Amino acid sequence: MLDFDVAQAQLVQAGNPIQHIEDVPLHQARGRILARSLDAHLDMPPADNSAMDGYAIRFADYEPGRGLPVQQRCFAGEQPQPLHAGHSIRLFTGSVIPEGADTVVMQEDCTETDNVLFINEKPSIGQNIRRRGEDIHKDSVLLPAGVRIGAAQIALLASQGYNRVPVFARLKIGVLTTGDELIEPGKPLQAAQIYNSNGPMLAALVEGLGADAVHVLHAPDTLEATEKALATLIADCDLVLSVGGVSVGEKDLVKPAIEQAGGKLDMWRVRMKPGKPVALAHAQGKPIVCLPGNPVSAFAVFALLVAPLVRKMQGREQWLPPVEHARLDAQAPFNDTRDEFIRVRAAHGQNGETRLSVFDRQGSGVVSSLPWSDGLARIPAGQKFGPGDLVPYYSWAHWLV
């Protein structure tokens, strides 16, 4: 069996980053991957400005009890006059600092009477001034290529005047499920049938990564139907995911269908539980990843092995998110030959430590464990972990985005 880390490293190399670049309006860029580094057009702030409502003064003019006539009232967006010696200028948050001023006294520390300022608390020179460029310097790198754009990145780009951004085209992913026993949700079940949960689950996982699930196809157990579905996915998609049907049984037809499409299937047995059977192929230059059929196994393999490949093909700068560490709050199962990835839920204690509670049933068909959990704890092969032990923790919040 392949070590888990080796399988993860090999699978992430199975596809190449997408090359097509689109220029999209900023308000449509959320979730897209930035295709080129973007530089700052201007300093931020663009000029020294007031950090709060108050009065601009020359610090040298301050004396306890001395009145400073208010020379001007200057709102944000207005250009102030040069400050005269012995005077003050009323400012508001964001107002440009007048020439000659070096200090802003907050209004709560002042009294204004008959257009004369009296300062009640001794100021310090330079206080309450946001300096030009203290946030961003013009021509510095604003965002590097490969960043996934969210609301924070959009705010930053908008502050620099960007109204369009270059992004990689959305990665197109197709999903294939097979089996006469599967029926689509919403239809009446017949004897010996079960609802197909893998198809919509994988489509949702794909969309959660910011890719497009352009096809979610199901093929009954005939070679003709499987070949036809696979041909559609290979033609229309950058990456194909199949679920089940890659063993050597009479109705395991994905392997011959891939071979008919010109691909060669590499069967892997990965040292992980759940999720041992994984297969990889390429057909017509497109990677095909075959996942195990149990829903929990497919979910875990997608999160840990497929999602890094998707992020690479999207053109992201980071493929493998950081692995956290947290303490178990229960005795964990263990296996002598495979790393176990157990479904857990994290909670933050008063001492700042993250602790993990374990779902009571860890079978690969226990779908109810997925919405309950917020990640996986890794139990290395041949080791037993008890309450309070520190273990690697793969959070859905990091590994499924």
Q: Where are the domains of the chain?
A: 4-19+170-314, 25-41+139-168, 49-130, 324-392
Tokens representing 172 are 């197109």
Confidence of residue 251 (pLDDT cuts 50, 70, 90): low
For residue 390, the model assigns a pLDDT of: 93
Classified by CATH at the fold level, domain 324-392 comes out as: Beta-clip (2.40.340)
- Amino acid identity of 332? A
- pLDDT one-digit tens code per residue, 155-198: 999 999 999 999 999 999 999 999 999 999 999 998 889 999 99
Classified by CATH at the fold level, domain 49-130 comes out as: Molybdopterin biosynthesis moeA protein; domain 3 (2.170.190)
Answer for the pair 109, 122: CB distance below 8 angstroms, yes or no.
no
Tokens representing 120 are 């009640």
Q: Does pTM top 0.95 for this prediction?
A: no
Classified by CATH at the fold level, domain 25-41+139-168 comes out as: Molybdopterin biosynthesis moea protein, domain 2 (3.90.105)
Tracing tokens 């929990």 back to the chain, one arrives at 296
Confidence of residue 250 (pLDDT cuts 50, 70, 90): low
DSSP state of 121: S
DSSP state of 347: E
Rounded Cα gap, residues 280 and 306, in angstroms: 11
For residue 318, the model assigns a pLDDT of: 95
Asked if the domains at 25-41+139-168 and 49-130 fall in one CATH topology, the answer is no
Rounded Cα gap, residues 196 and 202, in angstroms: 11
% helix, strand, coil for the chain, step of 5:
20, 35, 45
For residue 351, the model assigns a pLDDT of: 83
For residue 249, the model assigns a pLDDT of: 58
Lowest mean pLDDT among 35-39, 142-146, 246-250, 378-382: 246-250
Q: Is 383 helix (H, G, I), strand (E, B) or coil?
A: coil
As its CATH architecture, domain 4-19+170-314 has 3-Layer(aba) Sandwich (3.40)
pLDDT surpasses 80 at 248:
no
Instruction: Provide the CA 292 distance to its chain's centre, in angstroms.
Output: 25
Question: 377: which residues sit within 8 A by CB, 6+ positions away?
Answer: 326, 328, 332, 341, 342, 344, 356, 358, 391, 392, 393, 394
- pLDDT one-digit tens code per residue, 17-69: 999 999 999 999 999 999 999 999 999 999 999 999 999 999 999 999 999 99
Reference 229, options 154, 178, 282; nearest CA is 178
DSSP state of 306: I
Question: 200: which residues sit within 8 A by CB, 6+ positions away?
Answer: 185, 216
